[in-house]
């Protein structure tokens, strides 16, 4: 039996302030992808985070979209 899909979305870009979560320019936010589970999303997040390590303002986030669609999921 296939594992239940738990949608995760990875996005990122440059922040206004390294201590915050507000993007500098929403039109430049990068949609990295949608993933069926946290493990796959984490792989994509890690690759993007490592690729932008020289830019202190660049941040990538994993959005647990399955919790937005169905708050009863873990």
pLDDT, mean over the chain: 94
pTM: 0.89
Flag whether pLDDT at 12 surpasses 80.
Answer: yes
Q: Which residues of 39-71 are buried (b: 16+ CB within 10 A; e: fewer)?
A: eebeebbeebeeebeeeeebbbbbeeebeeeee
The domain spanning residue 26 has which CATH number? 3.30.70.2400
Rounded Cα distance, 4 and 69, in Å: 14
Structural domain harbouring 63:
8-69
Q: How many domains does the chain have?
A: 1
* pLDDT bucket at 1, cuts 50 / 70 / 90: low
Residues whose CB falls within 8 Å of the CB of residue 56, separated by 6 or more in sequence, listed in order: 18
- Evaluate whether residue 74 is within a structural domain: no
């Amino acid at each position: 039996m296939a594992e239940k899909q738990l949608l995760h979305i990875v996005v990122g870009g440059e922040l206004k302030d390294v201590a915050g979560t507000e993007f500098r320019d929403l039109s430049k936010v990068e949609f990295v992808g949608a993933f069926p589970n946290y493990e796959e999303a984490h792989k994509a997040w890690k690759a993007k985070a490592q690729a932008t390590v020289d830019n202190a303002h660049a941040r990538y986030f994993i959005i647990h979209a399955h919790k937005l669609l169905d708050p009863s999921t873990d």
